Amino acid sequence: MSAECVSTVDELANSWLSLRIKMPQLDREKLCCSICLDLLKDPVTLPCGHSYCGRKTFIPRPVLGKNTMLAELVEELKKTELQAAPPVHHNYAGPGDVPCDFCTGRKQRATKSCLQCLASYCDDHLQPHYDSQAFQSHKLVEASANLQEKICSLHNKVKKVFCRSDKQCICYLCSISEHKGHDVMSLAAERAERQTELDPCRQNIQRRIQDLEQDLMVLQKQVGVIRSSADEAARNSQTVFSQLAQLIARRSSEVQQQIRIQQETETCRVKELEEKVQNEIAELKKKDWELKQLSYTEDHHHFLLTFYLLSALGKSTHTSVNVPPSSFEEVTAAVSQLKDKLQDLLSQGWTQGEAPLRPAELEGSGTQPHMVPPPPPSFITKEEVKSAAFQQQLRVVPPPPAPPSFPKSFLKQPQQHLVSPTSSVPPAEPTALAPPHPALVTPPLPFAPPAEPKTRNEFLQYMCPITLDPNTVSKWLSLSEGNRKVTYMKKEQSYPDHPERFSDSLQVLSKEALSGWCYWEVKWSKFVAIAVAYKSISRTGSESGFGFNDKSWALWCHNNEFRYDSTTTFLQVSQSSKIGVYMDQSAGILSFHSVSDSMTLLQKVETTFTEPLHVGLWVCSGSAKLVQLL
C-alpha cells in the first residue's frame, strides 16, 4: 500500500509540474534566436525557413522578410510570462532541516510529512495532497526525520499496533506471528489511555522537583555555614600561630644573647690564665738571660752568690694548664628538646579528636548524613597560649650546670643573664674584657626585627649568594655560569636519575636553603616563572608545578600572574626583565619587585613559613639567571 501511494504521488506531481513549469520553458526555447540565444527581437526569416533577430548587416545582403506572426507571438509570450509566472523561490534544505523525498538534485526543505505515505514533501510536491481526492484521507504532520521508525523492519509494514506485553509498537503481521497471544491494541487506543496518566505523572515530577530544590537550598546554606566556620577557624589559628611564632622568635633572640654572653664570660676566664702564663714566661726568660750572662764572668765570688739567687725558681701558679673546652652542646640539646615538645604538643590537637568519616564510609553506611556542619578542629586558643601551663611547656629545664660549663637553665629564665640592651645578638668577638663573674641584672631585651626595606640599596643589604641544584633540574633544562643560569633546551639532556629531580615540570630549585632575611634578583626572558618553594614539593605530577600547590609561591613573569595553591592573581602593574625577591622568614613576608630605576612592588605575601625555603625557577622557553650581587 505504501509503494502504491508513493507511485501515485510521483505521477501526479510530475504531471502538475509539467503543466506549470516545463511547458512555458519549451515554448520559450522554440521562440529563441539560435544565434544570441534570447527571445527573438525583430524576427526575420531566411528563404530556408529559419528565423533570426534582424540586427546584422551582411554583404551581399540576403533576401529577408519580416515574420509578422512570429513577432506578435513573441511579444504575447513576454506579456504572459510577466503576468502569469509566479516568482520562483528556492527553499533548499539546510543543516537540521528535513529534505523533501521527491526532489531530485538539490533537495528543497520539507514542510509536511505524510503518515500514510511515510514520506516528507516540499510545498511543490505537497500540492497533490491538497488537490487530489486520493490523498484526502492521508494524515499530514509537521516534517519529521524519523518516519522510517514507523516501518516494521521484518515485514516492511506500517506499525499501527501496540504490544502491551513487550511495551513496543508493531505491525499487524507481528501481532499474529512474533507477538501472537500478547495483549495488543491500536496505537490510538493506547495513546488515549496513556494520555489520562500524563498529567498525574507530571504532577509527581513537579513535586519531586520542588522537594529537591528545597534540599538544594538547604545544602547551599550549609555551604555558607561551613565556609564561615572554616574562615573563622582559619583566622583564629593564624592568630595563634603568629603569636606562637613571635614567642619562638623572641626566645630565639634571647638564646643567641645567652650564647654570646657565655662566650664572653669563658673568653675572659681564659684570657686571665693566658696573661698569667705570659708573665711567668717573661720572668723565666729574664732569668735565663741573666744566667747566660753569669756564665761569662770570671769572678768566682760573684758567680756563686748570683747563681744561688737566680737558680732558685719560685713555685709556678700553673704547674699544668688544664682548661676544659667550653661546650655549647647543652644549648643545642635544649633547643632540640624544645622542638620535640612543641611537635608533640601541636600533634595532640589533631590526634585526640575523632577523625571525620571518609566518603566511602558514608556511602557504605546507607544513611544520609545530617545537614550539620562538622565541629572545628581543636586549635590552640589565645588563652591557652597565655596560660602558665603552655608557657611552662615551652621552657626546657635541664639539670643544674657545673661551672665552667655552659648553663643549661637559660631557656627557662633567660632574662637573668642579659647584660646589654644595645643589641639583640652580641658580636662574636668581645670588645673588652669583662670581669670573671659579672652581675647580670639588666632587664630582658625585646624582640625587634628590622624594618622592611624600601629602596634598592636597603634591599641589597640582605643580598645572599644563590646557586641552582643540578640534582633537581629538569632534563629539558641546562645550567651554566656556575649553576646560576638555567636555559630551556629543545632536546632532552642526559642527566643521571635522581630522586630530587623534577620529571614533569620544567623547573629547578636552589642548592641553598633560605632563612632569616634574604634578597636576590633574577633576569628573565620569554616564558619564565620565579618562585619560592619548600624542599618537600612534589617532583612528579601536575601538582609539582610552582604555584599549583600549597608548598610554593610563584610569579609567572610572561603573563603577569601570581599563583599559589592553584589560585591565580592577575597583576595590575607591568614588570621589567629583572625581578627582585625579598623574604623575611620569621615574619612570614615574601615580596616580588620589578627592578628598574626604582623598585615597584608587584605582589606581597604575608603568611607563616613552616619549612626551609628554596629559590625556584620554571623555564618553558628562553632563560633565567640569578644576578650575582656579591
pLDDT tens-digit profile of 123-136?
888 888 888 888 88
Do 404 and 257 belong to one domain? yes
Q: In the chain, how many domains are there?
A: 3
Report yes or no on 48 lying in a domain.
Answer: yes
Do 465 and 592 belong to one domain? yes
Nearest to 449 by CA among 552, 592, 587: 587
What's the pTM? 0.34
Do 442 and 474 belong to one domain? no
Report yes or no on 154 lying in a domain.
Answer: no
Grid-cell match 597565655, residue found? 386
Nearest to 503 by CA among 552, 539, 537: 539
Highest mean pLDDT among 56-70, 89-103, 574-588 belongs to 574-588
Report yes or no on 243 lying in a domain.
Answer: yes
Q: Is the pLDDT of residue 550 over 80?
A: yes
Do 338 and 198 belong to one domain? yes
Do 239 and 92 belong to one domain? no
Do 434 and 533 belong to one domain? no
Do 518 and 551 belong to one domain? yes
What pLDDT sits at residue 446? 37
Do 7 and 62 belong to one domain? yes
pLDDT tens-digit profile of 210-245?
999 999 999 999 999 999 999 999 999 899 889 888
Report yes or no on 292 lying in a domain.
Answer: no
HSE, CB side, 13 Å, CA atoms: give it for residue 282: 6
Q: Of 113, 142, 171, which marks where a domain is finished?
A: 142
Report yes or no on 311 lying in a domain.
Answer: no
Three-state SS letters, 64-132: CEECHHHHHHHHHHHHHHHHHCCCCCCCECCCCCCECCCCCCCCEECCEEECCCCEEECHHHHHHHHHC
Report the distance separating Cα 549 and Cα 535, nearest Å: 13
Domain with residue 71: its CATH number is 3.30.40.10
Q: Of 82, 111, 142, which marks where a domain is finished?
A: 142
Three-state SS letters, 239-264: HHHHHHHHHHHHHHHHHHHHHHHHHH
Q: Is the pLDDT of residue 182 over 50?
A: yes
What pLDDT sits at residue 118? 80
Lowest mean pLDDT among 128-142, 200-214, 469-483: 128-142
Do 107 and 188 belong to one domain? no
Q: Which domain holds residue 192?
A: 183-281+330-352+376-447
Report yes or no on 127 lying in a domain.
Answer: yes
Report yes or no on 157 lying in a domain.
Answer: no
Do 273 and 415 belong to one domain? yes
Q: What is the mean pLDDT of the chain?
A: 76
Do 133 and 242 belong to one domain? no
What pLDDT sits at residue 445? 35
Q: Of 425, 447, 469, which marks where a domain is finished?
A: 447
Report the distance separating Cα 455 and Cα 261, nearest Å: 35
pLDDT tens-digit profile of 525-545?
988 999 999 999 989 887 888
Do 469 and 426 belong to one domain? no
What pLDDT sits at residue 510? 93
Domain with residue 599: its CATH number is 2.60.120.920
